[in-house]
Amino acid sequence: MVSTAQTAPQIPQLELLERAKPARFPDTLLDEVRSGRLESLAPEEILAWGLAEFAPRLALSASFGSREGMVILDMLSRIDPANTRVFAIDTGRLHQETYDLMDRIRDRYKVQVEVFFPDAARVQQMVREHGLNLFYESGEKRQLCCGIRKVEPLKRALHGLDAWITGLRPEHGPTRKNVRAVEIDHVHDGRIKLNPLVRWTRADVDAYVEQNRVPVHALHARGFPSVGCMPCTRAIQPGEDERAGRWWWEQPEQRECGIHTGYEEKGSGI
C-alpha cells in the first residue's frame, strides 16, 4: 500500500553546508564596522543595530558565569524579545549553581537556551588517555580539555549564525585589552562579533543588575566574579582582576580557553 502522507522535501547536503556558513556581507556593512562609527554607540544601540542587520542569524553566547551575559540578555529581551536567541556550552563540569541560573533565565525571559555539549566520544578518549584532571598537569593538556569541551562545541553553536554577541570587556584582564564593540571575527570565519559592554566598568554592570533586578550567578556573592568549570574556577583575592580565578595556576596572559583569542597581540578583528 502506497502512503499518501506528504514528506518534507529533501535539502541537498551542499545547501545545508552553505546555510551553516556566515553570509558574505556587503562591503558597505564591513566598511561600517571598520570605520569605528559603531564604537561610540550605547550598548542598547549596538544590540539594536545587530538585530536589525542579522536577526534571526544572531545569538548571544552566554556562559551564565558572568554578569555581563545576563545584562545583555536583559537588554535584548527589552529591545526585541521575539528575536532574542541565547546559547550556552555545557562542558559537563559546571557548577550546580550554573544550571540553577539557566532555569531561572528560562522562567524570567521565556527564552529557550540553546545548549551545546562536547562530543562524548572525544571526551571519553581524552579522559581514558590523560585522566579526569589533566588540565592541572600542563598548559597543553589544559588547552586540549578546553578545546574538546568548549571550543569545538562553540563551532557547532555558531553554525547558521552570521553574528554573535559576547560580554567581553577590556577590564577583564590582559587577554582582552584590545576588544572592540563591533568587529569582524576572523577566528570564526569572518562572522560579525558584538561586544556591546566594551566601554562599561564593573560598576556599570553591577548598577544595571541592581536597577533591573537581573538574575545572576549565586557564586558571585561568594567572590567568584567569573565562573567557568568547577575544577578550574576559584574565588578571587582583593586587588586581582576579574578573571584571576580562572585557571589561576597559569600566567595571566594564558587564561583563555581558546574561544576569544588574539586581543593581546593586535587590536580588533578589523
Q: Which residues pair with 185 in a beta bridge?
A: 191
Pick the residue with more confidence: 130 or 270? 130
Q: How many CA atoms lie within 13 A of 8 on its CB side?
A: 3
**Per-residue pLDDT tens digits for 210-234:** 999 999 999 999 999 999 999 999 9
Please report the sign of the dihedral spanned by the C-alpha atoms of residue 194, residue 183, residue 154, residue 226: negative
- C-alpha torsion 219→119→22→37, nearest 10: 20
Chain-centroid distance of CA 31 in Å reads 25
Q: What is the mean pLDDT of residues 141-163?
A: 94
Number of H helices, E strands in the chain: 9, 6
**Average pLDDT over every residue of 139-150:** 93
8 A C-beta contact, residue 91 and residue 150: yes
Residue that is written with C-alpha cell 568549570 in the block: 229
pLDDT, one tens digit per residue, over 27-66 is: 999 999 999 999 999 999 999 999 999 999 999 999 899 9
> Average pLDDT in the 181-189 region?
92
User: What would the pLDDT profile of 81-140 be if each residue is shown by its tens digit?
Assistant: 999 999 999 999 999 999 999 999 999 999 999 999 999 999 999 999 999 999 999 989
pLDDT-derived band at 9 (thresholds 50, 70, 90) equals very low
Q: With a cut of 80, say whether residue 253 has pLDDT above it.
A: no
State the average pLDDT for the chain: 87
Q: In this prediction, what percent of the chain has a pLDDT beyond 70?
A: 86
Catalytic residues: 257
Give the Cα separation of 48 and 233 in Å (integer).
Answer: 33
Sorted by where each begins, the domain ranges of the chain are 25-254
C-alpha grid cell, residue 259: 574561544
Q: Which of the two residues, 16 and 52, has the higher pLDDT score? A: 52
Nearest to 208 by CA among 49, 111, 105, 68: 68
Q: How far apart are CA 95 and CA 111, in angstroms?
A: 21
- The CATH architecture of the domain made up of 25-254 is 3-Layer(aba) Sandwich (3.40)
| Confidence (pLDDT) at 196 | 98
- Between residues 58 and 253, the one the model is more confident about: 58
- With bands split at pLDDT 50, 70 and 90, how would you rate the model's confidence at 20? low
pTM higher than 0.75 for the full model? yes
- Measured CA to CA, the distance from residue 149 to residue 90 in angstroms comes to 8
| Beta strands per DSSP E along 19-79 | 58-61
Q: How many CB atoms lie within 10 A of CB 14?
A: 8
| Chain mean position to CA 56 | 17
**Which residues, including other chains, have CB under 8 Å from residue 4's CB and lie 6 or more apart?**
none
pLDDT value at residue 248: 85
Q: How far apart are CA 12 and CA 35, in angstroms?
A: 38
